Amino acid sequence: MPTTANVVYQYDGSFDGLLCSVFESYDKKEIPLDIVLPDATQMMLVPIKNIPTDSGKAKRVLASIPAKIGFLALDFVQHAFLTCFTQKELYILLFLRLGYRHGANVMEMLADDVVHTMVKAVRHLDRESHLFKGFIRFSIFNHILVAEIEPKNYVLPLLLQHFCERYPEERFLIYDKTHGMALVYQPYQSAIIPIDDLVLPEPDEAEESYRELWQVFYNTIEIKGRHNPKCRMNLMPKRYWKYMTEFGNTQYNHRKVLKGQDGLLKALSHKELF
Amino acid sequence: MDVFEKLKILTDAAKYDVACTSSGVNKKTPKGGIGSAAACGICHSFSADGRCISLLKVLMTNVCAYDCKYCVNRHSNDTPRAAFTPRELADLTINFYRRNYIEGLFLSSGVLKNPDYTCEQMIETLRILREEYRFFGYIHAKAIPGADSALVSRLGMLADRMSINIELPSQDSLNLLAPDKSKHSILTPMRYIQNRIQENSMDLVKYKHAPKFVPAGQSTQMIIGATPDTDLQILNLTEGLYKKYKLKRVFFSAYMPVIENSFLPTIDTEPPLWREHRLYQADWLLRFYGFAANELLDEQNQSFNPYVDPKCNWALHHLDFFPMDVNRAPYSDLLRVPGIGVNSAKRIVTARRMTTLSFESLKKLGVVLKRAQYFITCKGKKNESFKITENAILQSLMSEKTRKEYQMKFSQREAIDQLSLFDMPFKVQPNFLQEDIVKCLQQQM
C-alpha cells in the first residue's frame, strides 16, 4: 500500500513530465501531497522533489494506460490535462492509480470523489470549448481570418478539428490570450504555436460593413415583448462578450497599427509559421 | 434600398419564427468547399430575449399575397416591404458564415406573386450557396404551402431541414384567423416531405452516395394563446405529429399581440409565456422521458398546472409508483422521478454497476435532491437528514420563480412559514387534489 509522503513533486509542465511523476509515484510507492509547476512560488513547508522528464519512462506509462485502463481513460486524462482545475496533476495521478487497480471500470465510478472531481473539471472544459465553437468571431484582414479568445481552460486543441473542418480552404488564426498560444491554419496544415502578443490592423471597408450588418441583424432579431437579459446572461456569460462583434466592440476600430505588429499577419500569408 | 435596410426589414419580419436550431446532421466539407454541421447544433449568440441565434433567420421577401390575421406580414398590414435578390442573400450568408457569426441560413418567405414563384426564388438562393460557393453549412428552408411538389422536392435536396408551420392547432382556428390556409394545405406537403425522407433512406441503403433529402428531418411550429385551443388539444396534436409525421421538433410560440383585430386577444395581452414553457416541458417528456400525452393531461385536466411542472404533477398523481429504490429501478422508471433527468438517470445506471448509491453520491451524479428526495430510497432508506413539512414539500417542488410569485401572493395574508397547502391558489383547475397531497405527506412522515 503506498503511503501519502511528505513531499511535493515538481514537474516541467508537460504531459510527459506528468507521466514521469506517475512513474516516480509507483517507483517510490508514495503519493505526493501535490504536483506543482516549476514556477510555483508559494512557501513550501514540505520538501520539493524535482521530477526530471524522461521520455523513456513517459512512454512506458503512456503505453500502459490504454492497455490497463482503456482508450477512453487515456482520452479522459488527456482532456483533464487541458483543464484549468488547479490540482489537475495530483488528481490525474490519483485517477490513474484508481485505474490501474480497477481497470476500465474506473470510468464508471462516477460516485467516487476523485473521478467525480475529474469529470466535473472535464465537463467544464468541454462546455467552454463547445461555447467557443459558436462565440468565436473572426475578422478578415487581407483574406486571413483572425480571432481572439480569452478562455479559462486550454481549449485550442479541442477547437482545432472543428475549425479545420469548417474552413478547409481558408487561412485562419485563433489567438488564445490567456495561454499565449495561437491555432494557425492554412489549407490542410495546422499548428498550435506560442505567440506573445497580437495587435490587429484597422479593418477595411468590407469588414466594417459586415460587422455593422451583423449588429443590425442582432439588434433586430430580438422580440421586444420577450426581453429577458437574465436568460441571455445564463446562456452566454458576460466574459464571452468582450470579443463578440454584436456588442459593438469597437476596440478594433480604434486600435492603431504599431510598428512591426502586422509582421505576424504577413508571416501567416507566407509560410514562415509552418 | 440598400442591404442594411433590407436586412432590417426582413429580419424584423422573420423573428417570430421560433426555430433556430442547427441540429440533427453531422457533415464535413469535401475539398474545395466551406462549412460543416454538428448533430448537436451550435449556438452562435443569444439575443436579448434569451433566444439562441444559430442561423441567419430572414425572409426572402415580406411581400405576401395572404392575409392571415395574426401575421405581421399579412397584405392588409401597412408595413415597409422589401425583397432580397438570391445573389444578395447568398453573399450575405457566406460572409457571415466566414466570420463565424452563424451556423447557416434559415430561409422563409412571404408569398410573392404565387407559391411557385416564391419557391423558385428560394431555390435559386440555395443553389448559388450550394453550387457556386460550395457551401456545406446548415440550411433550414421553409416549405411554402401550395407550391408544386417538384419544387418542394428540389428545395429539399438543397436544404438540411425543412419545416411547414401548422400555425394554429385546429381547423376552426385556421378558418377564423388564416382563411387562405387549411389543414389540408399544410398537412399535404408535410406528408409529402415525410414520404420523400422515407424513400431517400431506402435509397441510401442501396446506394451509399445517393443525394440526401432533408437529412436533418422536418419540424413545425404553432402559435399558443391566439385561439381558445386547450393544452390538451395542443399536446395531443404534438404527439400525433411526432408519431405520424415523424417530425424532429414541434415548436411553440406564445402569441405576441402585434395587431388589433376583433378575432384576436387585445393588443395589451401579456404573451402566455408560462404556458409556452409548460408545453415545452411536456414536449421534452414526450420525446426523451417516455411519457404519453394522455398521461400528462386528460379530459378532466385540460390545462397544465401553473405551479408545478408536468412531470411533478404526474408524480403527485401517481404516488403509488413511488418511492423507488435508485439502486434497482430500471432506467425508464428513474426518468419519471422529479429531480432526475436524462443525464443523471444515465449516470445512475452507470455508477451503480460499481457501487451501491447513497444520497451523498446521488448529489455528485447531478440529481436534484431537493425535488427527488420525496420519491426515492437508497439502500431501502429514505433521506433522513431533511426535515419535512407540508410547506417544504410544496415549495421545494415549485421552481424558483413560481415560488416567488406564490410567496408574494401570500406574504400579506400570513407569514410565509405558516403557509399551508390547502390555501394553494389555482389559476386554472386544480391538477392535484387535496387528498393526494395529504396522502403524499402521510407517506413521507
Which cell numbers in the block locate residue B89? 442573400
Radius of gyration of chain A (CA): 22
Q: Identify the residue among B5, B23, B49 best suited for mutation to test binding to A, counting A beta carbons within 10 A and taking the highest.
A: B49
> How far apart (Å, rounded) are the C-alpha atoms in residues B319 and B322?
5
Are both B263 and B343 inside the same structural domain?
A: no
Are both B144 and B274 inside the same structural domain?
A: yes
**Chain B residue closest to A141 (CA)?**
B99
> How far apart (Å, rounded) are the C-alpha atoms in residues A245 and B220?
31
Residue B49 to residue A232, Cβ atoms within 8 A: yes
With contacts defined as CB-CB under 8 Å, which chain B residues touch A136?
100
Structure confidence at residue B427 (pLDDT): 36
Are both B225 and B351 inside the same structural domain?
A: no
Are both B133 and B26 inside the same structural domain?
A: yes
* Single residue among B296, B327, B354 that ends a domain in this structure: B296
With contacts defined as CB-CB under 8 Å, which chain B residues touch A204?
none
Residue B171: count of CB within 10 angstroms of its CB:
11
The single-letter DSSP state of residue B286 is: H
Contact A128, A99 (CB under 8 A): no
Radius of gyration of chain B (CA): 25
**Chain A residue closest to B35 (CA)?**
A166
> How far apart (Å, rounded) are the C-alpha atoms in residues A232 and B67?
34
Considering the domain boundaries, does residue B250 fall inside one?
yes
Cis peptide before B323 (omega within 30 of 0): yes
With contacts defined as CB-CB under 8 Å, which chain A residues touch B361?
111
For chain B, the straight-line distance linking the first and the last C-alpha, in angstroms and rounded, comes to 71
Which cell numbers in the block locate residue A3? 503511503
Domain count, chain B: 2
The closest of B60, B76, B293, B56 to B169, measured between CA atoms, is B293
Write out pLDDT tens, residues B289-314: 999 999 999 888 889 988 889 999 99
Least confident of B127-136, B203-212, B217-226: B203-212
- Partners of B261 in beta bridges: none
Residue A210 to residue B256, Cβ atoms within 8 A: no
Which cell numbers in the block locate residue B62? 415580406
The closest of B110, B127, B120, B102 to B22, measured between CA atoms, is B102
Structural domain harbouring B108: 3-296
**Chain A residue closest to B29 (CA)?**
A165
The per-type count for chain A, helices as H runs and strands as E runs, is 10, 10
Are both B180 and B233 inside the same structural domain?
A: yes
* Single residue among B237, B270, B296 that ends a domain in this structure: B296
- Partners of B105 in beta bridges: B56, B139
Considering the domain boundaries, does residue B127 fall inside one?
yes
Residue A26: count of CB within 10 angstroms of its CB:
17
- Rounded alpha-carbon distances, angstroms, from residue B59 to B12, B105, B125, B142, B184: 9, 10, 12, 10, 24
CA angle, B183 as apex, B178 and B189 as ends, to 5°?
A: 110
Confidence at B444, pLDDT banded by 50, 70, 90: very low
Are both B52 and B147 inside the same structural domain?
A: yes
The closest of B122, B174, B127 to B148, measured between CA atoms, is B122
If contacts are CB pairs under 8 Å, which of residues 191-250 in chain B contact chain A? none
Write down the ipTM of this complex: 0.88
The closest of A23, A11, A82, A103 to A48, measured between CA atoms, is A11
User: Which residue matches cell numbers 399558443?
Assistant: B224
Are both B29 and B164 inside the same structural domain?
A: yes
Structure confidence at residue B408 (pLDDT): 66
Structure confidence at residue B281 (pLDDT): 95
For the purposes of burial, counting CB atoms within 10 Å of the CB of A136, is it exposed (0-12), middle (13-18) or buried (19 or more)? buried
- Rounded alpha-carbon distances, angstroms, from residue B165 to B203, B221, B227, B251, B273: 28, 5, 16, 9, 19
Are both B342 and B267 inside the same structural domain?
A: no
Closest CA–CA distance from residue B38 to any residue of chain A (Å): 9
> How far apart (Å, rounded) are the C-alpha atoms in residues B11 and B57?
7
Q: Hey, is the C-beta of B36 within 8 angstroms of any chain A C-beta? A: yes
Considering the domain boundaries, does residue B136 fall inside one?
yes
> For all residues of chain B together, what is the average pLDDT?
85
Residue B100 to residue A130, Cβ atoms within 8 A: no
Are both B145 and B51 inside the same structural domain?
A: yes
| CATH of residue B47 | 3.20.20.70
Write out pLDDT tens, residues B85-127: 999 999 999 999 999 999 999 999 999 989 999 999 999 999 9
If contacts are CB pairs under 8 Å, which of residues 244-283 in chain B contact chain A? 254, 256, 271, 273
Least confident of A15-29, B6-20, B262-276: B262-276
Confidence at B423, pLDDT banded by 50, 70, 90: very low
Of A162, A210, A222, the CB nearest to B47: A222
Are both B235 and B343 inside the same structural domain?
A: no
Considering the domain boundaries, does residue B303 fall inside one?
no
Structure confidence at residue A249 (pLDDT): 55
User: Which residue matches cell numbers 409525421?
Assistant: B245
Q: Is the pTM of this model over 0.80?
A: yes
The closest of A244, A211, A157, A167 to B43, measured between CA atoms, is A244
Chain A and chain B share a number of CB contacts under 8 A equal to 153
* Per-state percent for chain A, helix, strand, coil, to nearest 5: 50, 15, 35
Considering the domain boundaries, does residue B364 fall inside one?
yes
Least confident of B12-21, B143-152, B267-276, B412-421: B412-421
With contacts defined as CB-CB under 8 Å, which chain A residues touch B56?
217
Q: Is the pLDDT of residue B434 over 80?
A: no
> How far apart (Å, rounded) are the C-alpha atoms in residues A249 and A260?
24
Confidence at B54, pLDDT banded by 50, 70, 90: very high
**Chain B residue closest to A230 (CA)?**
B50
- Which stretches of chain A score pLDDT less than 70? 1, 41-44, 249-274
Structure confidence at residue B170 (pLDDT): 86
For chain A, the straight-line distance linking the first and the last C-alpha, in angstroms and rounded, comes to 49
The closest of A69, A65, A85 to A19, measured between CA atoms, is A65
> How far apart (Å, rounded) are the C-alpha atoms in residues B394 and B432?
12
Residue B100 to residue A116, Cβ atoms within 8 A: no
Q: What are phi and psi of B162, to 5 degrees?
A: -125, 155
Are both B210 and B345 inside the same structural domain?
A: no
Q: Hey, is the C-beta of B31 within 8 angstroms of any chain A C-beta? A: yes
Structure confidence at residue A270 (pLDDT): 46
Are both B401 and B253 inside the same structural domain?
A: no
Phi-psi sector, B432: left (phi>0), alpha (psi -120 to 50), beta: beta
**Chain B residue closest to A129 (CA)?**
B42
Q: What is the dihedral of CA B277, B280, B284, B287, to 10 degrees?
A: 170
Is B270 or A165 the better-scoring residue by pLDDT? A165
Write out pLDDT tens, residues A93-133: 999 999 999 999 999 999 999 999 999 999 999 999 999 99
Which cell numbers in the block locate residue A42? 508559494
**Chain B residue closest to A171 (CA)?**
B98
The answer for residues whose C-beta is within 8 angstroms of residue B216's C-beta and 6 or more apart is B23, B24, B25, B37, B138, B140, B160, B161, B248
Closest CA–CA distance from residue B94 to any residue of chain A (Å): 11
Helical segments of A69-197, H only: 71-82, 88-102, 113-135, 156-166
Residue type for B346, please? K
With contacts defined as CB-CB under 8 Å, which chain B residues touch A137?
99-101
Closest CA–CA distance from residue A78 to any residue of chain B (Å): 22
Residue B34 to residue A212, Cβ atoms within 8 A: no
3-state secondary structure B380-426: CECCCCCCCCHHHHHHHHCCHHHHHHHHHHHHCCCCHHHCCHHHCCC
> How far apart (Å, rounded) are the C-alpha atoms in residues B100 and A91?
36
Residue B33 to residue A169, Cβ atoms within 8 A: yes
- Rounded alpha-carbon distances, angstroms, from residue B100 to A133, A143, A242, B80: 8, 14, 16, 30
* Single residue among B296, B330, B348 that ends a domain in this structure: B296
Of A105, A221, A225, the CB nearest to B57: A221
